[in-house]
Amino acid sequence: MALLVYAAECLVSLVSIGLSVIASRSIYKGAPHGNDGHCKNNLPRHPKTLVIMPCKGIDIRFDETLEAVKKQSYTECELVAVVDSESDPAYSVLARHGIKTIISDPELIKTTSCSGKNRAVMTALSLHSEAFELFVVVDSDTTVGTEWLGALIMPLAADDRVGVSTTFPLFYPLGGFWSMTKTVWGLVGSSMQNDRRTRFVWGGSMAFRSKLVKTALVELSRSTADDIAIGKACKELGMDIVSVPRARPIVYVKETFGTFSEWSVRQTALSILGNRRLFKYGVAYYALFCVNDFALLYAAYAHSILAVLFAIPILLNILGFCLATGFYNPIYYLIVAFMPIVYLVDLVLGRLKKNIRWRGADYKLA
């Protein structure tokens, strides 16, 4: 029996050391240096760019979001918003801000099985595909900085091998435990962006070339999510996807347990849909982290020195979170420590999910 306990301690110790190495590499990759190799002081050229903002209803701090996307230092661009109809509450707000607004093509409802956002993007692309070299999609709940657009298109302007550039947001909590939990949850997206093997396109802020449009329109017409469709189009043409951390926007969040859990499972289900390998890798990684968490609790209860070793991966994750967000509230430390359990549950539920509800509509995952 003592031999089995010793073997278990050695095994978990090795797991803890491995997790510590991974956490250390994540902190290093998340540092400001070298995250996108195309960042320079000036753009090598200034391609004409269309910024597309699909809108449905009024999001948190909508007025602030609209003004932010209008005030870009990069000026070789036009902004167009897309709504389903003039009766949408967003329509009058967009008009008040002087933003050109078009109506999503109603014929697409009859001929496609995609989401409302996909139809909005398809409408804008169909109307403007010949007039612009680059296209950018930004969500209506995404608040950007003045250098956002220039930073996002930089890789496309600098390297013809790049088909899509993207980033991932900081979820900024407006109060409440579940809003803070969403902030922590979102860090997994940033970590995945830092590694080419797990990098994905985030639909809330993505830029792509006009040469992708023909393929993208086909993928958008049959996909649930626009980012999955654009990512597939990029891969079909053999082009690269680049992450641009310095273009990271803010998404203000105000969550309850119900809204957070629905959102997190939906996001996980869509991520698995876009890359099936994420389920296998995610379950393996977070299951090991859960083992480490429980081993820490047991070692602390038994007053074992191994508790120090088991605590190192968690402390490194907390450090990485603080460096990435600038948030130091101790409540976050507790959330970070137990987040692997949430991720593991989301992975299982997301893998089993067949349908999702998004912006008031139901979609089948295919």
Measured between alpha carbons, how far is 17 from 37 in angstroms, rounded to an integer?
A: 30
- What is the per-residue pLDDT for 37? 41
Domains and CATH numbers, the chain: 15-31+273-360 (no CATH), 49-167+202-254 (3.90.550.10)
CA distances from 53 to 70, 205, 261, 365 (A): 11, 10, 26, 24
Tell me the pTM.
0.86
- What is the per-residue pLDDT for 366? 62
One-letter amino acid of 15: V
Beta carbons of 93 and 63 less than 8 angstroms apart: yes
Coil vs helix vs strand at 82? strand
Q: Which of 272, 246, 250 is nearest to 183 (CA)?
A: 250
pLDDT, mean of each 10-residue run, the chain (366 residues): 45 52 51 42 80 94 95 94 94 96 86 83 89 95 95 94 95 94 91 82 95 92 89 93 94 95 91 83 87 87 86 89 91 94 94 80 71
- What is the per-residue pLDDT for 304? 87
- What is the per-residue pLDDT for 28? 47
- What is the per-residue pLDDT for 237? 93
- Beta-strand ranges (E) seen in the chain are 49-54, 77-83, 100-103, 134-138, 142-143, 162-166, 170-173, 205-209, 240-243, 250-253, 355-358, 361-364
CA distances from 147 to 72, 104, 121, 187, 198 (A): 6, 29, 23, 22, 26
Measured between alpha carbons, how far is 101 from 297 in angstroms, rounded to an integer?
A: 55
Phi, psi of 240 (to 5 degrees): -90, 155
Beta carbons of 85 and 172 less than 8 angstroms apart: no
| Bridge partner list, 172 | 252
Beta carbons of 221 and 118 less than 8 angstroms apart: yes
- What is the per-residue pLDDT for 55? 95
One-letter amino acid of 278: L
Number of other residues whose CB lies within 10 A of the CB of residue 348: 15
- What is the per-residue pLDDT for 355? 81
- What is the per-residue pLDDT for 24? 52
